[in-house]
Amino acid sequence: MTMERQDQVSYLANIYRIVLVDGQSDRREEKAFDVIAREMGAGYFEVKEAKELAAADQYDFRPVSRWSDQIRNLEDMLLVAHLNGAIHPEEKSLVLAAAGEAGINNRQFDVIKAEVKQRSDKLS
């Protein structure tokens, strides 16, 4: 099942905000974002809108509709946050907002973090 257009935009905006928020966007983060967008079937206009939303001064985490997509969004946000080393406090805040919205408890979050770390190590 594919995501609705607005969910795609929100999903990608959450990830792109992670790319921008630490002020240190690098090639690996941008490439990961592009791969995620392509894999979900997002088009040019969805990516453009997501990037514009993420660049806004007053950006707030935007949950997507389906719970499974919320978990995947959390995983992708963590992945991008890990790609340039330490997680910035504002990245952490966005990731925790995503985890809270999805109702993830500490044990589940630890499992997700460990899996994302392994995925990130393969990409680095």
What is the pTM assigned to this prediction? Answer: 0.92
In angstroms, the CA 21 to CA 59 distance is: 10
Q: Is the pLDDT of residue 110 over 80?
A: yes
Burial class (CB in 10 A: 0-12, 13-18, 19+), 11: buried
Q: Are 15 and 84 in contact (CB under 8 A)?
A: no
The closest alpha carbon to 103, from 73, 59, 71, 79, belongs to 71
Q: What is residue 117's predicted lDDT score, i.e. its pLDDT?
A: 87
Q: Which two tokens stand for residue 109?
A: 């979050």
Q: Is the pLDDT of residue 86 over 70?
A: yes
Write the pLDDT tens digit of every residue in 31-82: 999 999 999 999 999 999 999 999 998 888 999 999 999 999 999 999 999 8
Write the pLDDT tens digit of every residue in 5-14: 999 999 999 9
Expressed in angstroms, the distance from the first to the final Cα of the chain is: 30
Chain-centre distance of CA 44, in angstroms? 18
Give the Å distances, CA to CA, from 15 to 54, 70, 107: 8, 12, 23
In angstroms, the CA 31 to CA 62 distance is: 22
> Domains, the chain, ranges and CATH?
5-123 (1.10.3680)
Residue 94: pLDDT band (50, 70, 90) is very high
